[in-house]
Amino acid sequence: MTDSSVREFKMPDVGEGLTEAEILKWYVKPGDTVTDGQVVCEVETAKAAVELPIPYDGVVRELRFPEGTTVDVGTSIIAVAVGDGAAAAAEPVQEAVADTPAAAEAEEPKPEGRQPVLVGYGVSTSSTRRRPRKGVEAPAAAPEASAAPAAIQAEMNGHGPAAPAAPPAGERPLAKPPVRKLAKDLGVDLASVVPSGPDGIITREDVHAAVAPAAEPETAPTTAPTPAASPTATPASYDTARETRIPVKGVRKATAAAMVGSAFTAPHVTEFVTVDVTRTMKLVEELKQDKEYTGLRVNPLLLIAKALLVAIKRNPDVNASWDEAAQEIVVKHYVNLGIAAATPRGLIVPNIKDAHAQTLPQLAGALGELVSTAREGRTSPGAMQGGTVTITNVGVFGVDTGTPILNPGESAILAVGAIKLQPWVHKGKVKPRQVTTLALSFDHRLVDGELGSKVLADVAAVLEQPKRLISWA
């Protein structure tokens, strides 16, 4: 078999110019036959876990890296024998790589249990191992079959792709099912993608080009002299029996960077209100018995989300973002409602698109799907982009309240505390009532104290008297 019959599938940029991803699980092993669009592995980026489909037919020749390895975008991760030599290559290929760590791990994939909890931080149990990348790579795949970003593909071909014509207005974009799935996972509208394939077909690199930032020219790095090591310096050490070190990577690493950036960029203000939600809890129980909500997730979070949407409708200026470059406030006429969720890989904040336009049953269905997808670890990068405001339900952990940090780029975040029976003055008498504490953090560049106070007071008023969902809607 010659090298010309081997295709190298490279780690693609699966969203927003990410530079690396960790290989979580291989679904194939050397000698397996693969087909165009077949998922061969699952990787974790700084955004989410994503399944990668192979863009051509053939036989797996080698897995370049074992599970748990963090690989740079553009690096070959799997070699596939294609064409006439694929069948003949299957046996010798398997023998050639049988003793590699990648093959050994691929023989017996071990399923990983996932038990995410809504809102908060999870514990990642995977570890990162790096292996030197191989220096020899086979010729790149043709542009029609490659999953690499357009910028990388152009560099491999030695020139940029010719500018294709835009698809006719009103017609359904042409794309294969794997490409449609990729576009859905990345949150890309195929109608806005310019096709480069034959007969106006949208290819994988077209979808990646729609989300990838423009490539910047490389500059030669300057090399500074390395200072001599101190003769008294000793390597860092710790007591492994008394301490455990967890590598910070993937979603957790991205979350840490985003939270630091948000905390020290947006001037945070947090306000609190304690409210009697007894009537809201009664309404939740009534809705559970309503046939219209059969099979839907009905809980206090549903009515809290609706209360926040009503408050935003009454105070639309709170739903905004800050444009640093233009020094402008951008008021959004739509609400993409984020729900903070904890997964074993860390905190993620998927959002419900156009939540302001949904009925209560529709909102219940969207919340249920969001939570289920997060628990399965299948939240797509597109589902976490474009949020405007967020809810974090710390009450599920028995916590009374907190001072939440804004999701980067958003104007406000509402923390919901635990709902508990507490003594409360009701109609002039002290009675046990269902009570909770709400905390609203907001960006003081966008939201002044009066506006923030009105929004929080409106949320509390709806939860105290849920009939306002009708009168204020």
Q: Is residue 366 within 8 Å of 357, Cβ to Cβ?
A: no
Q: Which residues contact 81 (CB under 8 A, 6 or more apart)?
A: 1, 5, 6, 7, 58, 59, 60, 61, 89, 90, 93
Report the alpha-carbon distance of residue 223 to residue 220 in Å, rounded.
Answer: 9
State the angle between helix axes of 278-288 and 449-464 in degrees (0 to 180), rounded to the nearest 10.
60
Q: Residues 155-173, buried b or exposed e (16+ Cβ, 10 A)?
A: eeeeeeeeeeeebeeeeeb
Q: Is 426 a catalytic residue?
A: no
Query: What residues of the chain score a pLDDT lower than 50?
Result: 1-2, 92-163, 213-231, 233
pLDDT at position 167: 56
Instruction: Check: pTM over 0.95? Answer yes or no.
Output: no
CA distance 395 to 463: 15
pLDDT at 382: 83
Q: How far apart, in whole angstroms, are the C-alpha atoms of residue 401 and residue 95?
A: 59
Residue of 208, 333, 426, 444 marked active site: 444
Q: How far apart are CA 272 and CA 380, in angstroms?
A: 33
Q: What gap in Å lies between CA 428 and CA 33, rounded to an integer?
A: 75
CA 112-118-120 angle, to 5 degrees, is 90
Question: Which segments of 153-267 are extended strands (E)?
Answer: 174-175, 201-202
Which residue segments constitute the domains of the chain, with CATH numbers given?
1-112+133-139 (2.40.50.100), 158-213 (4.10.320.10), 251-471 (3.30.559.10)
Q: What pLDDT does 90 receive?
A: 52
Contact predicate 322/446, CB 8 Å:
yes
Question: What is the model's pLDDT at position 361?
Answer: 95
